[in-house]
Amino acid sequence: MAEQEKAEVLLKVKEKYEPPKEIVERAWIKDYESLYQESVKDREGFWAKVAEELHWFKKWDKVLEWNYPYAKWFVGGKTNITYNCLDVHVQNGKRNKVAYIYLDEDNNEKKITYGELLELVNRIANGLKSLGVQKGDRVSIYMPNTIEAVAVMLACARIGAIHSVVFAGFSEGALRTRIEDAKAKVVFTASYTKRRGKRIDLLPTVEKAIDGLDFVEKVVVWDRGGDVLSEEKGELFVNFDELIKNSSPDCEPEVMDAEDPLFILYTSGTTGKPKGVLHTTGGYMVQTYYTSKTVFDLHEDDIFWCTADIGWITGHSYIVYGILANGVTSLIVEGAPDYPNPGRWWSYVEKYRVNVFYTAPTAIRMFMRYGEEWPAKYDMSSLRILGSVGEPINPEAWHWYYENIGKGKCVIVDTWWQTETGAHMITTVPSYPAKPGKAGKPFFTLEVDIVDKDGKRLPPDTVGFLVIKTPWPSMLRTCWGEPERYEKYWNTIPGVYFAGDLASYDEEGYIMILGRADDVINVAGHRIGTMEVESALVDHPAVAEAAVIGKPHEVKGESIKAFVILKKGIEPSDKLVEELKLHVRNELGAIAVPDEIEFVEKLPKTRSGKIMRRVLKAQELGLDVGDVSTLED
C-alpha cells in the first residue's frame, strides 16, 4: 500500500520545533495540555464558556442535545452570525476598521471597513427580500473570490436564507447539479473572473446550468464591466448594482435559532453525486470563531490572510465567518498565486505586513519549484504564524515553508479538518512544538482515535482509520435531502464519526494524516470523487466503462488517472484522449480533468461487478495488489 510506505517514511520523523518565546508569550492558549484535559472532563462547559464571548439575542437553554447520530448545540439559543461578524464590531468602535483588503491580478486594491461592509450586506439583504427570498430559501452563489461574493453570503445569513456557494471554477454540469439539488430560488453570479490575465465569463455558464430549471426565479448578475445584461436577456436577470442602489443600508438581522441552517456546501463522496453538507448557525459560529482565535492566535491588530477561495469550506470558515467574528483585517485575493510572477503572494505579505498566513501544501510545493529566490526578494518579517490545510504536508514542503517563508521564526500549524467538520479538529496550537508532517493533537474537547475496521483502537505508529468519538459544535448536521448519507458517517463504525482518512498517532499523541481511505482523490487540496469523474467519462458517447484512480503527484499531491473501455468499433486515439479531457472539463471543471487516460480492454472487477480500483492502483504504482480473492477472474 502506498500509504503504508509513506507512513514508514514519515514515522521516522522525530524532529520537534519549539515555538519562539515571543509567540508563546502572546498566545491565547499557553498550556494546551491542561486545558485539553479540563475540556474533555466538561465538554459542554468548555463550549458554553466560548459561546459566552459571542452575542446571543437569547441565551441557550442547553448546550448539547446528543441523540446519536444527531446533535443539537446551544439548544434554544437565538443569534445571527452576521451580528457577531459585523454589528458587534461597528458598535465597539471599529466602524472604520478595515475588514477586507481585496486584490486582483493587476494589484488593484479595494478596501472595505466593517461599517461599509455592514451597509453593503444590508443593502443586498434588502435586495434579496425584494426578490421574495425568505428565511430557509436557498440561494446559490457562483462568484469569484471577492468582497462582493462574501457580502452576498453574509446577506443570505442576515435574513436566514441558506447559501450554497459553488466554486466559480466548476463548469456548467457541476453547477447545475448543485443548483438543482438545493432547489435554489435565486442564483448570484458575476460577469466574469480573471485568471492568468484571461477573462473567464461566468454568466454563460450560469445560463446553461439553469436552462429548464423552473424553480430558479432570478439570476442576480454583478456586472463588473462588459455590459453583459442586454435588454433581450429578459426578466429572469437582475443587475446587482440596480438591486442594491435604492435599497436601505439598514436591515434588522433575522433572529435565528442556533440550529437554523446557515449554509449548504457540496463536497465529493464515494458516489457520483456530491453531498450537500449542511451547517447550522450557533455551533458553527462558536467553533469557527474560537479556532480562528486560538489556532491562528488572532489579536486586535493582526493582518490575516487565508489564500483559499470562498467556494471551499476553508474560505467559508477562515475567510468569512470565523475571521470576521474576531474582527480582524484580512486579505481576499482573486486570481492565480503565481501570476503575473511567482512573487505575487510574497509582495502582498510585505506590503500589508501580513502576520498570519494560511495556505495549502500544493501551493507551497509549487513555490518550491520556482525557487527560494522569489520569497527572498521580499521583507516578510511581519509573519508570525503559518498555516497549512487541505492535504498532508510532506516534511520537505514543511521545512521549505518554515525556512523560506517563516525564516525559521514562525510557527507552523498544520490544521486537519473537513467540509463536514466545519472547523479545525486536529492541529497544534502556536504554543506547543510542531512536528513536520504531523498535524498535531486533537482540538479542545475532541476525542480522536485511530482504529481498525471493527473500531478497535490500534497501537501507536500503526496506520488505521481516523475516527472522532464525540460530537462537536461545528459538525455537519445532515446531508441535504439525504439523511442516510449523513448517518453513514456515524454507522460505518458504529458509535463514532468516520472521517474517511487514514492516520496514525505517535507515543506523544501527535496525529499524522496519510490521506483518504476511500474512493476520494485529493488533487491540489480539492476533493474529487472517483465516481464523479467516472460518470462524466461514461457520459461521453465513445465510452463504455471507466475507472479512475489517484496517483502520487509531486506538486498536486495526487493526480487523476482514468482507465477507459471504449464502445465497440471505436478506435483509441490521441484526439479522443483530448476530447474526453475536454468533456470532463465541461461536465465538472478543470480540477477534475485526468492527467492521464489509458484505453484498456478490461477492468478488474469483483464477482458482483464492482470495479476494484485498489487493484488498478497497485498495478499502476508497481505495488503488491494485496488480497484479490474477490476478483472475478
Site residues, ligand PRX (CB under 6 A) = 267, 313-314, 388-392, 414-419, 439, 499-501, 513, 515-516, 522, 527
Of 351 and 614, the one with the shorter C-beta distance to ligand PRX is 614
Count of helix runs (H) and strand runs (E) in the chain: 22, 32
User: From CA 576, how far away is CA 580, in angstroms rounded?
Assistant: 6
Instruction: With CA atoms as reference, report the closest residue to 188 among 162, 232, 154, 152.
Output: 152
Residues 6+ apart with CB under 8 A from 125: 155, 156, 158, 159, 251
Distance in angstroms (rounded) separating the CA atoms of residues 586 and 176: 12
Rg (CA), the chain: 24
Q: How far is the CB of 381 from ligand PRX (least distance, A)?
A: 26
As measured in angstroms, the least distance from the Cβ of 465 to ligand PRX is 11
Q: Please, what is the minimum distance in Å from the beta carbon of residue 522 to ligand PRX? A: 6
CB of 267 to ligand PRX, least distance (A): 5
| Side chain identity at residue 270, one-letter code | T
Give the shortest CB-428-to-ligand PRX separation in angstroms: 11
Report the distance separating Cα 535 and Cα 520, nearest Å.
14
Identity of the residue, 221 or 393, whose beta carbon is nearer to ligand PRX in the bound complex: 393
Residue number, 112 or 389, with CB nearest to ligand PRX:
389
d(CA 181, CA 137): 13
Amino acid at 470: T
CB of 316 to ligand PRX, least distance (A): 10
> Which cell numbers in the block locate residue 266?
457540496
- The minimum distance between CB 331 and ligand PRX, in angstroms, equals 19
| The dihedral formed by the CA atoms of 350, 353, 356 and 361, expressed in degrees to the nearest 10 | -10
Q: Residue 73 or 416: which CB sits closer to ligand PRX?
A: 416
Hey, is 384 helix, strand or coil? coil
Closer residue to ligand PRX, CB minimum distance, 257 or 532: 532
Enter the C-alpha cell of residue 175: 453547477
- Residue (of 193, 89, 115) closest to 149 by Cα position: 193
Q: What is the largest CA-CA distance in the chain?
A: 73
Q: How far is the CB of 467 from ligand PRX (least distance, A)?
A: 12
Name which of 418 and 492 has its Cβ closer to ligand PRX: 418
Q: Which is nearer to ligand PRX, 80 or 359 (CB)?
A: 359
Closest CA to 15 of 511, 433, 515, 507: 433
Q: Using CB atoms, what's the residue nearest to ligand PRX?
A: 419
> In 326-441, where does DSSP find H-type helix?
344-352, 361-370, 373-376, 395-400
Question: Of 113 and 314, which CB lies nearer to ligand PRX in the complex structure?
Answer: 314
Q: Tell me if residue 448 falls in helix, strand or coil.
A: strand
Q: Which is nearer to ligand PRX, 253 or 525 (CB)?
A: 525
Q: Phi/psi at 560 (nearest 5 deg)?
A: -100, 130
Tell me the closest approach of the beta carbon of residue 615 to ligand PRX, in angstroms: 22
Closest distance to ligand PRX from the beta carbon of 338 (Å): 21
- Residue 126 or 415: which CB sits closer to ligand PRX? 415
3-state secondary structure (DSSP) of residue 632? coil
* 414 vs 449, beta carbon nearer ligand PRX: 414
DSSP letter for each residue of 137-164: -EEEEE--SSHHHHHHHHHHHHHTPEEE
How many CA within 13 A on the CB side of residue 379? 5
Between 126 and 559, whose beta carbon lies closer to ligand PRX? 559
Instruction: For cell 448517518, name the residue.
Output: 487
Smallest separation (angstroms) from ligand PRX to the CB of 25: 26
CB of 241 to ligand PRX, least distance (A): 33
* Whether the Cβ atoms of residue 117 and residue 86 lie closer than 8 Å to each other: yes
The whole-angstrom separation of Cα 544 and Cα 539 is 9
Q: Which three cell numbers stand for residue 127?
A: 435586495
